[in-house]
Structure 1
């Protein structure tokens, strides 16, 4: 399945919708048919466009449908080593979790015993431009870009239990 990023309104823009399941809105930025950003603002602008196929999928996911968003076309504009970390995080399956060391082991060119490489992974997760699509909430013991209360709710939705 391919996600239409135009919501029927063109393939570039910012779309947003309130989601009761997490108690806040989600905004999705698109460019050239790819998702470039996901954020959790406190409020949406009055003119926010809520018509987008990814927002529909997010609604289904937040109400219990299993979705790993692996087919979503993304454009991750971060340094190469950080992008590779984020691509590794995309491979952590729905309902599973990994620790930072495992994520670094999964990332080509990084060494899980090298503190600089571990810091690269921490930075990538903290600055993740695509939370949920790049599921930093599935990486335990490290701060991601997903707000903590939202990350906790996403782990609940996926059945990931805190250790």
Structure 2
């Protein structure tokens, strides 16, 4: 006959087991999440979690909102870009073509390229550039800042 406490362990014991599998979670975090969701057994001050509780606690949260900027950043490696453009790899011919097209790696990330820059340069080479991108702004930076801040 199974009881509710079969397989139940303290948060510290679960953390030790998770640490062995490569997941570093503190007992304090596990306790806080258990209290927040109500997924625990307690008697006095003692807290126990059974495997069902832990499974619920480790599920991804549905209401987690991804970061605006970081979630959208995608880079491609030089090898991936070269393959997609028909080159056998990131060789001298590919690097020469990138130089000619003004496609540069992301600063500080050698060998990684921004797909948006690549798309913009390819559009530019094919004459698909929008009018607002080709004409430089005629306003000074001070005028742009004043307009942004709503000052005259």
Q: Place the TM-score, normalised by the shorter chain, in its bin.
A: under 0.3
Bigger strand share: 1
Q: What is the TM-score with the length of structure 1 in the denominator? A: 0.24
The higher radius of gyration belongs to 2
Name whichever structure is richer in helix by fraction.
Answer: 2
Greater relative contact order structure (CA < 8 Å, 6+ sep): 1
